[in-house]
Amino acid sequence: MTQTVYIKLAQITQVSKTEVNLSDVAEVYCSDKSTEARCRAVPVLRIRSERPMSYVKSVTDIIKKVTEEVPGAEINSIGEQDFVIAYQPPARPHPLWQWSKAVFVSIICFTGAAFAIMTFNNDANVSDVFGKIFFIMTGHESDGVTVLEFGYSLGLALGIILFFNHFAGWKISTDPTPLEVEMRLYEENVNKTLIQNGEREEAGVDVS
């Protein structure tokens, strides 16, 4: 009796084991639980590398393997047609190294942002503008530390927090932050490039 098996493949899946089964890279559903269990256990990839690697696969590879291992199963794919398996060897955590990288990146981001803000303020001559506004409103010369500078600094910080929708572990709303959106777009472009490169290599055509 033919059993319909639904599989939903993600565009990319990270694994840390060398024996990759269908359940590791896809959601599997079948009304017959015995058939579903057999399909979930179908081997998809055996990794022999000891270093991080990315493997490009197609849903046709999955269909071939499942029909070989589970005769009578009819595969219905409702996910990606081409997907990436990213292998990351298991490694012992190194908290000191992780914290060192986080501190280094934080310093780079802070100094870069501070430099960008200072160069903008210098180009726009903000200090002179504030000085003239203060003189017009009060009739006194500004000493460079007034309510205008304080309000500008506070507003700049609040504006950054509101725009990026993120501060430490706290988010203003459930919407993704601009950084999350850009990272997802970058990840999607990388995955598409890996898939296209894999197809071109198989066809013997590449841009390089």
The total number of structural domains in the chain stands at 2
Mark which of 64, 87, 110 sits at the end of a domain.
87
Assessment of whether the complete model's pTM goes beyond 0.85: no
Mark which of 87, 122, 149 sits at the end of a domain.
87
Listed in sequence order, the residues at least 6 apart from 7 whose beta carbon sits closer than 8 Å to its beta carbon are 22, 26, 27, 28, 29, 39, 59, 62, 75, 76, 77, 78, 79
Name residue, tokens 């060192």: 100
DSSP 73: E
Nearest to residue 65, comparing CAs of 56, 75, 55?
Answer: 75
- For residue 74, give its domain range: 3-87
Instruction: Specify whether 15 is located in the same domain as 61.
Output: yes
Q: Would residue 206 count as lying in a domain?
A: no
pLDDT tens per residue across span 76-121: 999 888 899 999 888 777 888 888 988 998 899 889 988 988 898 8
**DSSP run (H or E) holding 178:** helix 178-203
Instruction: Specify whether 74 is located in the same domain as 105.
Output: no
